[in-house]
Structure 1
């Protein structure tokens, strides 16, 4: 197998890792969010962050652009409790003609490279990313290949809780999102503010805060603009995050289709899977 045959799956794997870290805890509502006049926009957003702790799984779709990856569309089922798992169908407009499947299970990412990958890997179309604690993983981090690998283990509620830490949260308007009437909120927050221990008081754990800061620093992001559309059940129906990064703009929108439904994810057959760590070791030996 040559180096070229690895590039598309590696890029797709990174995009999947970023999506896993950027997924948000959302919910569906039936009527417009009816907030008490005494509840400020900041309090309303904080209430959403608090309630997100009850979410165990999400079925969502997303669309937007990732710095260094370009346009991307996907639909995914993700489980956060008792352990993180995800199954995603991802489409990269202009780069691939068919959706690419990505799975996260047992702290490993599996990317389906399709027929092209199978031709290069003796009939194996799946590539496994499980590089934690290996020298190959350190080298790939330096290459920028899987620098955000730890984001895959981060709770999808982390990004939504970040908005609760913004000082300028405001109500924008009301809108119908995917058939659900919602209240639209917006706020901005700097990565410098996020990089302070006091930020954990906003419902973000110290581990979530640290990982989020690491991710955005790596991407070259200084400030985030976040929009949240909330249903009357105090759960988000839609979430948008925008920022300028070193490799271009980031603009991702997540729309939740369902939540707290059973999610089952299985690893691909071993006979159809090639381990990236072993592949890189073979290249090193050569």
Structure 2
């Protein structure tokens, strides 16, 4: 039971981070643009910032997948423990799938705090709105031989506010659309969207666009948030207000082919700033994601309920 308690705490922390990153978002799909003319290379002198970003949105939505490399930084007093996390792999957003490897100081901190053998790198697979995390062979013997931790986001969302305290708000956050096309669409709702200039992104010329969006504006603009019940929506807003989130500062770099080469989002919270910095490439590359067999997984949400819900992490 002690080992399970350690991994329950680690699992909750990693799950909370992935929800914040957005990789566990329930994708209701971007507006399809496959039949529309391909966007031309950005031309600030001829295109307004809104037109250029709109063209990038259409191409990204039509691509449906890409390779991604992302760095996330959390303040030290966050529930996930703070530190940095690096993610690299492939992401698809129509349908929503992901196969990435995560590593960083955050996992070392989890190991030190929990007394567990948290791997230096964790592979994460997302398919059918279910998240799987490979906890490594060293821990499989302590977990009935099962190395993959499973979190069914639909089940967690249905549990709503009755879920464990550390996963409070998961039902609301898992309904938020966070694929890159939707992030670009949200940027279009910024009242101060502007073209910053031409810059280099990993040695390639790209057009830099910038905008800010308050949380209320983001929630109003995000189509998938409208499926939330009034109670869930109120709870989500209250949770965000308590966390001190005021809004999002978004920067987008569009390459000569009209695709996002880089996107960064900064969120100012009461406890510090959360930064996401993502690089994208190989748009349209196959995102063939295969979830692990059921015989190799253990259910995090079921384990939390078995161990006493919110008290499991005490």
Using the size of structure 1 for normalisation, the TM-score is 0.81
User: Whose relative contact order is higher, 1 or 2, with alpha carbons under 8 Å and at least 6 apart?
Assistant: 1
**For the residues of structure 2 that align with 1:193 and 1:279, how far apart are their CA atoms?**
37
Q: Is residue 57–residue 261 contact of structure 1 (8 Å, CA) maintained in 2?
A: yes
Answer with 268-277 or 234-243: which moved more: 268-277
1:122 to 144, 149, 160: 144
Change (3 A) 1:209 1:150: same
Answer with 100-109 or 1-10: which moved more: 1-10
Alignment of 1:1-286 (within 5 A): 1-2=1-2, 3-21=5-23, 34-66=42-74, 68=78, 69=80, 70=82, 71-81=84-94, 83-93=95-105, 95-96=107-108, 98-130=120-152, 132-133=154-155, 138-140=161-163, 142-144=165-167, 147=170, 150-151=174-175, 154-196=178-220, 199=221, 206-207=223-224, 214=236, 217=240, 219-284=243-308
**For the residues of structure 1 that align with 2:60 and 2:178, how far apart are their CA atoms?**
14
Once the 2 structures are TM-superposed, how far is the Cα of residue 220 of structure 1 from its aligned partner?
Answer: 3.6
Q: Is residue 201–residue 262 contact of structure 2 (8 Å, CA) maintained in 1?
A: yes
Q: Deviations for 1:155-191, whole angstroms, at most 9, x for unmatched residues? A: 4321121111112122222222123210111111212
Once the 2 structures are TM-superposed, how far is the Cα of residue 254 of structure 1 from its aligned partner?
Answer: 0.6
**For the residues of structure 2 that align with 1:190 and 1:153, how far apart are their CA atoms?**
16
Q: Deviations for 1:228-286, whole angstroms, at most 9, x for unmatched residues? A: 10112222110011121234211111100211111111122333211123323322399
CA RMSD of aligned residues (A): 3.2
Once the 2 structures are TM-superposed, how far is the Cα of residue 127 of structure 1 from its aligned partner?
Answer: 0.9
Q: Deviations for 1:118-147, whole angstroms, at most 9, x for unmatched residues? A: 243122221110153468664435433662
**For the residues of structure 2 that align with 1:237 and 1:44, how far apart are their CA atoms?**
14
Change (3 A) 1:131 1:33: closer
SS at match of 1:221: coil
Q: Is residue 107–residue 153 contact of structure 1 (8 Å, CA) maintained in 2?
A: no
SS at match of 1:132: helix
Change (3 A) 1:177 1:265: same
**For the residues of structure 2 that align with 1:158 and 1:279, how far apart are their CA atoms?**
33
Change (3 A) 1:93 1:255: same
Give the unaligned 5+ runs of structure 2: 31-39, 109-118
Change (3 A) 1:38 1:90: same
Answer with 171-180 or 141-150: which moved more: 141-150
SS at match of 2:307: helix
Q: Deviations for 1:14-62, whole angstroms, at most 9, x for unmatched residues? A: 2223333499x9xxxxxx9541523222332232223332121121100
SS at match of 1:95: helix
Using the size of structure 2 for normalisation, the TM-score is 0.74
**For the residues of structure 2 that align with 1:274 and 1:268, how far apart are their CA atoms?**
11
Once the 2 structures are TM-superposed, how far is the Cα of residue 74 of structure 1 from its aligned partner?
Answer: 0.7
Give the unaligned 5+ runs of structure 1: 26-31
Counterpart in the other structure of 2:111: none
Q: Is residue 72–residue 93 contact of structure 1 (8 Å, CA) maintained in 2?
A: yes
